[in-house]
Amino acid sequence: MNRRVIAAGCIAMSLGLTATACGGDDGDKSDKATDGKGKTLTVWIMEGTNPDARPFFAEAEKAFHKKTGAKIKVEYQQWASAQKKFTTAIEGGEDQVPDVAEVGTTWVPQFAETDALVDVTDEVKKSGLNDDLVEGLKDAGTLDGKQYGMPWYAGVRSIVYRKDIFEKHNLKPPTTWKELQTTAKTLKEKEPKLVSFPVAGGAEMFATPFIWGAGGELATESGGKWKSGINSPEAVKGIEFYTGLATKDKVSPAKVNTWTEKEVGDAWNKGEIAMAIGGNWTPKAIVDANPDLKGKLGAVPIPGQNGGMSKSFLGGSYLSTFNTDKKDLAWEFVKLVTTGEFAAKWAAETNYFPGQNSELKKIEAKKDPLVEPFANQMLEAGATVPKTKSYGEIQASKVIPGMVQSILTGKASVQEAADKAAKDMDAIFAKDE
């Protein structure tokens, strides 16, 4: 069977890595690495938060075939099932794992510790890319000093809103939690056919800004051991505010209780949302799907309780090579996609943020009103989940979405749901001890 290139990302994600001017061709080519005649790499690309990547990879395949003689087979996967698919493939051994994978930054520790991913630290240095990588993204894919792939794209979530509707009702973008609550309630009253602010029970990264914004933490580390912090008074306060928008203020209807980020995106595309948490890739994706909304969208950082910004998850996806007999050829593909022409194309087509400082500076200089708020959020209030392989299992077990959904459906109080989530997290953390 063909080895597989899997693109599996975070998400939750998500931001497009742009490239440096190096063009991804470092002159360090060996016959073994570039002779791909008769060989095929199978690529898994995530769907859900990403825009349609088919045209992009059709071009990349032509370029890769011209350079190496190898072919690319792209398979598109859903974020919700990807992590389980990764784990099953790794457990199945070398015949089951991919050649290259787009691995979400929160999954890198989990997969790296199984020895499934290839340490490409030396290859990155030889390519002259090391000093240009965005430090936070580079760190996310590095474990014990070893780098497991190249940053492909990175993203952060802020608030996207219908600028035309805000102007119609003389509303301003919220700058505090109280303003967010008041604005959402006003939108519910003035625009009853729209979801004024979806409290999406299946979207983990919609809830975490309010946990962090209230001063809480998902978990804390001490002496090499992790312990959940999700049921602390601060975290509970944030969860209570977020879920209360649905349970008390009724700005989010019951149909949203189980929505994932993809389903929020689908509703945006249909013109059914007035304001929601979304990624820096969201405005372009909305307009691409619904051209009627061009010029009608705005963006603002997620407000802090009393001003400033609440922290928001800063993550992204790596393109990583798996330990197979095609890992050298796979690295050539990783370089092609994550640097130079194709990295620049991906950034332009998706509005994802680059993983290279030189390209990020170009984006910042444009002062785009639909990009700058996200850039500010990323630089000033970006946060990460616990950097441990256990957190990948916590995400796969959907601990936080389960907690939020139990509150939204009235099955548990906020404290009860948080206590159960903490217990579940600690049981998973304990497996590493």
State the pLDDT at residue 6: 39
For residue 47, the SS3 value is strand
What is residue 12's DSSP assignment? T
Listed residue (97, 298, 65, 66) closest to 183, CA to CA:
298
H-run or E-run covering 391: helix 389-396
CB 47 within 8 A of CB 78: yes
Q: Residue type at 362?
A: K
State the pLDDT at residue 328: 92
Residue 344, both tokens: 């620049």
Across 219-236, b (16+ Cβ under 10 Å) vs e yields beeeeeebebbbbbeebb
- Non-local (6+) Cβ contacts of 333 within 8 A are 5, 41, 43, 64, 70, 72, 99, 100, 319
> What is the distance between the alpha carbons of residues 246 and 161, in angstroms, rounded to a whole number?
18
For residue 147, the SS3 value is strand
State the pLDDT at residue 417: 98
Residue 374, both tokens: 């996200």
Long-range contacts of 27-35 (CB under 8 A, 24+ apart): 28/126, 28/127, 29/332, 30/328, 32/328, 32/329, 33/328, 33/329, 33/331, 33/332, 34/67, 34/68, 34/329, 34/332, 35/68, 35/69, 35/329
Whose structure tokens read 């299992």?
Answer: 393
CB 15 within 8 A of CB 280: yes
Listed residue (280, 271, 272) closest to 299, CA to CA:
280
Give just the sign of the alpha carbon dihedral 308, 194, 208, 279.
negative
State the pLDDT at residue 105: 83
Question: How far is the CA of 142 from the CAs of 105, 164, 204, 339, 383, in angstroms?
Answer: 9, 43, 23, 19, 16
State the pLDDT at residue 140: 78
Long-range contacts of 365-372 (CB under 8 A, 24+ apart): 369/298, 369/299, 370/283, 370/284, 370/297, 370/298, 370/299, 371/280, 371/299
Per-residue pLDDT of the chain (433 residues; tens, 9 = 90+): 443 343 333 433 333 333 333 333 444 444 454 689 999 998 887 876 566 788 999 999 999 999 999 999 888 877 778 888 888 988 888 778 888 888 888 888 888 888 899 999 999 998 888 888 877 778 878 888 899 999 888 889 999 999 999 999 999 999 999 999 999 999 999 999 999 999 999 999 999 999 999 999 999 999 889 999 999 999 999 999 999 999 999 999 999 999 999 999 999 999 999 999 999 989 988 999 999 999 999 999 999 999 999 999 988 888 998 888 899 999 999 999 998 888 888 888 887 887 777 777 777 778 889 988 998 888 788 888 888 878 888 988 999 999 999 999 999 999 999 999 999 999 999 987 6
Give just the sign of the alpha carbon dihedral 208, 211, 212, 218.
negative
> What is the distance between the alpha carbons of residues 7 and 77, in angstroms, rounded to a whole number?
8
> What is the distance between the alpha carbons of residues 366 and 344, in angstroms, rounded to a whole number?
15
